[in-house]
Structure 1
Amino acid sequence: MMIIQQAFEDIILTGDIFKYLSFLFHISADQSQTTLRSKLEALQCHFTWILEPSKINLVLHRDKLLEIGTEEGNSWLGHIYNLRGFIQCKLGSTEDALSFFLQAAEAFGQMRRAGEGPWLVVNYGNLAWLHHLLGHQAESEAYLSKVDALKKKYPTPSEDELHAELYAEKAWTLMILDIERELVSDYFQKAIKMQPDMVEWNTSHVIGLASNFVRGSTKMEADILDKMRDAKEQDPENLYLAACDIQIRAMKGQDVADEARELAERVSINPVSSYSQMRAILRVYRTCRLIDEAILLAAKAVENNPDQRYLKKFAALTLKWKIVFSNYSGVDERMVDRAVILHKEVISLYPDSALAEEMDLANIYAKSKRRQDEAKHLFQQLLERKLEPAEKQVLYKHYAKHLLFDLKDYNKSIEYNMKAAKIPINSLYRESSIKALVKIKNKGRSPKCREIEEFLENLQKP
C-alpha cells in the first residue's frame, strides 16, 4: 500500500497525465483480477474441492477412470468426464481438459434429458477455472455468470446448503479419489434426503459404506447388511453392488461361494465394460479363498480380451495372491515364473502408475527360494527411487512387511513402520504402520519398546 501511495504522489508531482492514466489502469486491472479470483475460489467445483492433489494420485485415477469406461447409460458419465477434465488440467493437458468438460456438459444433458439444470453448476465452475488458468478472462467471467444464473434459477432453501446435485457430485468425487471419506456419507445423505428418487445416489452411498466396512471400519457394521439389501431392491441389476453385498456377507462368515460363482458368470459375459464389477468379484473370490478359481476367471477374461490391459493387471493380481498366500515351502516355482512374466508385462503397460505392481513383483521374488537376490535388488531400486511422499509411505509399509515376514528382521521392520507413520498423510498404510507399532509396544518384548513409545507420543497428526 505504501508503494502504491508513493507512486501516486510521484505522478501528481510530475503532472504526467499518461502515467496517471496508466496507474489507474493497472490499479483497476489488479482489483478486477482479485475480484475474479475471489469469485472462482467461492465456486463449488473440483478446483475448490481438491486443493493439493499429488501427481501420483492424479495419474492413478486418470488410468482408473479411463478403464471404468464411458458406456451410454452410465448414470455417472457426466461426473466421470468432469473428474477426468480436472485431472487432465492438473497434469498439464489443458486441451484434453476442455474436451472432457464439454463432454461432461453433453453427458449431463443426455442423462437428465434437459439442456440446463443445477447439475451443470460444477461443470461451469470447472470451465470458469480452466479458462482463468489459460488466461481467457472473458470466457472465465462468462461461465461465472452462467453459474450465478443457475443458482438463481434453482435456489436452495438456505445459503449454507448446496443443491442436491452438487452434494451428490461432491460425494461421488471424494469417494472415487478416496479422500475425506468421513464427508462422503454425509454429502450422499443430504443429496438423497433432497431427492430420494435418485437410485444411483443411494447405490453409490451404500457402496461407499461397504468399502469402509471392508477396510475395517465398524461404524456401520450393525446395519450395513440391511442398507445393502434395501439398495439391491432399488437397483437389482447393479453387479458391483451385488459383489459388495456378497463380500460383506463372506466377511461375516456366511457361505457365499455359489453366489460368487453365479455372479462371476454374469460379469464374464462382458468383462471389457465391467472393470469395476470384475475387480469386485475377484475380491469376493479372495475373501472366500477361491484363489484358484479367481486365477482361472481372470485368465479366461484375458484370453478372450487380450488387448485390455486392466484384465492383465487383474490376472497378475490373482497370481500374486496364490503365491503370497502359499506357505514358504509350498510355492510353485512355475507359478512364480508365470507371475513374474505377467507382472513385468503389466508394469510396461502402466509406465506412469505401476508402483503397486513393482512392489508385488518384489514380494513374489521374495517368496521364491531361487529369486531372493532379485527381491533384494528390486526393493533396493524402489527405495532409492525419487518418489512422492504418498508413494514412499506405501513403499515403506510394504517393505516393513517384507522385512518382518520374509527376512525376520524385526528391528528394521520397526524402523520402516516408523518411516511410513512419520509421513503426515492420512492413509490405510499409515494407520496400519501405527497399529503395528502399538501392538509391538503393548507386547513389551521388543528392545525398541521405549523408542516406539516416544515415537508415538511425538508423532504429528496430518
Structure 2
Amino acid sequence: MMSAAESLESKLEALQSHFTWDLDPRRSKLFRLKDNLEDIGTEEDNIWLGPIYNLQGFIHYKLGFMEEARAFFSRATEAFQQLKTTDEGPWLVVNYGNLAWLHHHTGEDEKSQDFLSKVDALMNKYPAPIKGELHLEVCAEKAWTLMKFDNEKKLQAAEYFQKAIRMEPNTVLWQTSRVLALVSASKHSDSGLDDDIWEDMRVARMEDPKNLYLAAVELKESARRGEQIRDEAQELAEKILLNPVSSYRGLKPLLRSYRQIDAFHEAIDLAERALNEHPDSRYLKRCAALCYKWKIIFSKDRRPNERMISRAIGLYEEVISLYPQSSLVKQLDLANIQAKSGQGLMKSDQTYKKLLREVQDPADKQMIYNSYAKYLNFERQERNKSVEYHMKATAINHQSFFRQNSIKALEKIRDRGRNRMCREITEFLEKLEILQKVNRQ
C-alpha cells in the first residue's frame, strides 16, 4: 500500500504540467528562455500571457528562485482569469498543476493537495471534447511551451497544436502557431521550407491577416525563394513600428528578410528608426546590433568604415550588459566584429580565451569551438588550429547546428585535399560515422 507521500507523488506525476513535460534545459538555456520571454512583453491583450507567466514560473523554479516562481504562477492565474473574463475554466489546469508541484517542492503538501483537488474539479467539469485526449486548452498551452525548446520539441508542438485544432478548428491563433512551430523547426535546413509547410503558411496568412509576426516570417521565406519583397517589407515595417515593442510584433523576422536579399543598410536603418522611437528598449538594441553584425561580417561590399564598427561595438557592449546571463552568442559576435576593426585582434583573442577558459556547459562549449574555429581560419589564417577546433566541436556528443556546421567544414577541407591534416580529418570523420551508426542501433 502506498504511503500518503507516495500517493501524492503519483498524482502529481499524472498531471499535465511543466513539471511533467520533460522540460529539462541546461541552466544557460534557462537564462536565455527567461530573457526571451521578457522580451515578448506583458501587453494585456496578448493571448499567450498566461502561458508566458507559467513558463516563467517554471524557469524560475528550475533556477532555484522559489518566491519568484510562486509569483509568476500567481500572475498566470490572474492573466487567464482576465483574458477569459471568468474565474475558472480548463485553461487553469496546467497552472493549478504547476502550483501543486511547487507547493510540494517547498514542503507544503496540504496546499499541493488543494491544487490537485482543483485540477480534478476542473477536469470533471470541463472534460476534453474527444475522450482519451488532452483538453484542447491544455494541448494548446503544451504546444506553445514546447515551441520554446529544441527542434524535436517544436515538431511535437506542431502535433499538439494539430490535436487542439481538430477539436476546435476555428481557432485561428492555433493554426498560425502550428505553422510557426514548423517554420522554426526548419530554420537551419539547407533546403529551406518544405512545399507543404510553405503552402500551410500561405493559408495561415489568409486566415490571420493581422498577425504581423506571421507576415514577417512569410516575407522572409519569400525572400529566400527569390521573390521581390522590398515594397511589401516597407509597408509591413510601418505597421510594426506603430505597435508597442515586443519580440512578437515581427521586427526581427522582417530584418532577416532584408538580410536575405543583402539589404543590410535597409535593415540597419529600420532598426535604428525603431530604436530612436524607443531608445530604452533592450530588445531593439539587440535587433540593431544584429543588423550591424550582418553588415560587417557578411556584406560583400568594401570593408565597413570604423564609424560603423564603432557603433556596432558600442551596441554589442550595451546588449551584453543588458543580458548578463544570456549573452554568450553576443560575446562571440562582439569578438568577431572587433576582429574587423583597425585595432587588431588582441581584444578578440582575449574574449575567445576567456570564454574557452570559463564556459563549461558542453553545448555552449561546442558553440564556442565552432565559432573559434572559423575565427582562426578567417581572421588568423591558422588553418591547422582551426581544424583542431572544428574537431573539438564535433567531438562533443550534442546534436546542434554548430556541430553540423563543423562537420561540413571538415568534410569540405577533406574533399579539397590541400590541408596537411587531411588524413587526420578523414580518420576522425570515419570514426565519427562509426559512432553515429552505433548510436542509431
TM-score computed with the length of structure 2 as normaliser: 0.92
CA contact (8 A) 1:440 1:449 kept: no
Mapping 1:134-213, distance limit 5 Å: 134-156=106-128, 160-178=132-150, 180-213=153-186
Mapping 1:338-377, distance limit 5 Å: 338-377=311-350
Q: In structure 2, what is the Cα distance between the partners aligned to 1:223 and 1:99? A: 42
- The alpha-carbon distance between structure 1 residues 300 and 113, as it changes in their structure 2 partners (threshold 3 A), is same
User: Alignment partner for residue 393 of structure 1, among 366, 377, 385?
Assistant: 366
Give the SS at the match of 1:84.
helix
Deviation for aligned residue 1:401: 1.9
Instruction: Using the TM superposition, name which of 68-77 and 331-340 deviates more.
Output: 331-340
Q: Does 1:85 align with 2:62?
A: no
Give the SS at the match of 2:262.
coil
Query: Per-residue displacement from partner, 1:182-210 (whole Å, max 9, x unpaired)?
Result: 31221111111111111111111111222
Equivalent pairs counted in the alignment come to 434
Match of 2:71 in 1: 99
Deviation for aligned residue 1:251: 0.5
Instruction: Using the TM superposition, name which of 197-206 and 176-185 deviates more.
Output: 176-185
Q: Does 1:294 align with 2:271?
A: no
User: Alignment partner for residue 278 of structure 1, among 238, 248, 251?
Assistant: 251
- The alpha-carbon distance between structure 1 residues 421 and 150, as it changes in their structure 2 partners (threshold 3 A), is farther
- The alpha-carbon distance between structure 1 residues 439 and 44, as it changes in their structure 2 partners (threshold 3 A), is farther
Query: Per-residue displacement from partner, 1:376-404 (whole Å, max 9, x unpaired)?
Result: 12111111113322211221121122223
Deviation for aligned residue 1:142: 0.9
The structure number with the bigger radius of gyration is: 1
Instruction: Using the TM superposition, name which of 286-295 and 449-458 deviates more.
Output: 449-458
CA contact (8 A) 1:267 1:274 kept: no
- The alpha-carbon distance between structure 1 residues 430 and 220, as it changes in their structure 2 partners (threshold 3 A), is same
Query: Per-residue displacement from partner, 1:364-423 (whole Å, max 9, x unpaired)?
Result: 122235321221121111111133222112211211222233333333333222322333
Match of 2:434 in 1: 457
Which runs of 5 or more structure 1 residues have no equivalent in the other structure?
1-27
Deviation for aligned residue 1:328: 9.1
Q: In structure 1, what is the Cα distance between the partners aligned to 2:404 and 2:429? A: 15
Query: Per-residue displacement from partner, 1:27-57 (whole Å, max 9, x unpaired)?
Result: x9x8211221122122111111144221111
Q: In structure 2, what is the Cα distance between the partners aligned to 1:107 and 1:88? A: 18
CA contact (8 A) 2:394 2:407 kept: yes
- The alpha-carbon distance between structure 1 residues 350 and 154, as it changes in their structure 2 partners (threshold 3 A), is same
Match of 1:115 in 2: 87
Match of 2:209 in 1: 236
Deviation for aligned residue 1:159: 6.6
Match of 2:221 in 1: 248
Q: In structure 2, what is the Cα distance between the partners aligned to 1:275 and 1:118? A: 25
Percent identity over the alignment is 49
Deviation for aligned residue 1:218: 5.2
User: Alignment partner for residue 6 of structure 2, among 34, 49, 53?
Assistant: 34
Instruction: Using the TM superposition, name which of 130-139 and 342-351 deviates more.
Output: 342-351
CA contact (8 A) 2:161 2:175 kept: yes
Match of 1:70 in 2: 42
Match of 2:384 in 1: 411
User: Alignment partner for residue 234 of structure 2, among 252, 261, 282?
Assistant: 261
Match for 2:428: what amino acid?
E
Match for 1:242: what amino acid?
A
Instruction: Using the TM superposition, name which of 363-372 and 234-243 deviates more.
Output: 363-372
Q: In structure 1, what is the Cα distance between the partners aligned to 2:90 and 2:391? A: 47
- The alpha-carbon distance between structure 1 residues 422 and 451, as it changes in their structure 2 partners (threshold 3 A), is closer
Deviation for aligned residue 1:127: 0.4
- The alpha-carbon distance between structure 1 residues 244 and 283, as it changes in their structure 2 partners (threshold 3 A), is same
Give the SS at the match of 1:116.
coil
Give the SS at the match of 1:176.
coil
Instruction: Using the TM superposition, name which of 301-310 and 406-415 deviates more.
Output: 406-415
Match for 1:168: what amino acid?
A
Match of 1:434 in 2: 407
Match of 2:304 in 1: 331
Match of 2:30 in 1: 58
- The alpha-carbon distance between structure 1 residues 435 and 193, as it changes in their structure 2 partners (threshold 3 A), is farther
Q: In structure 2, what is the Cα distance between the partners aligned to 1:328 and 1:72? A: 44
Match of 2:196 in 1: 223
- The alpha-carbon distance between structure 1 residues 281 and 220, as it changes in their structure 2 partners (threshold 3 A), is closer
Match of 1:127 in 2: 99
Give the SS at the match of 1:200.
helix
Root mean square deviation of aligned Cα: 2.3
- The alpha-carbon distance between structure 1 residues 212 and 177, as it changes in their structure 2 partners (threshold 3 A), is closer
CA contact (8 A) 1:165 1:191 kept: yes
CA contact (8 A) 1:156 1:163 kept: yes
Which runs of 5 or more structure 2 residues have no equivalent in the other structure?
none
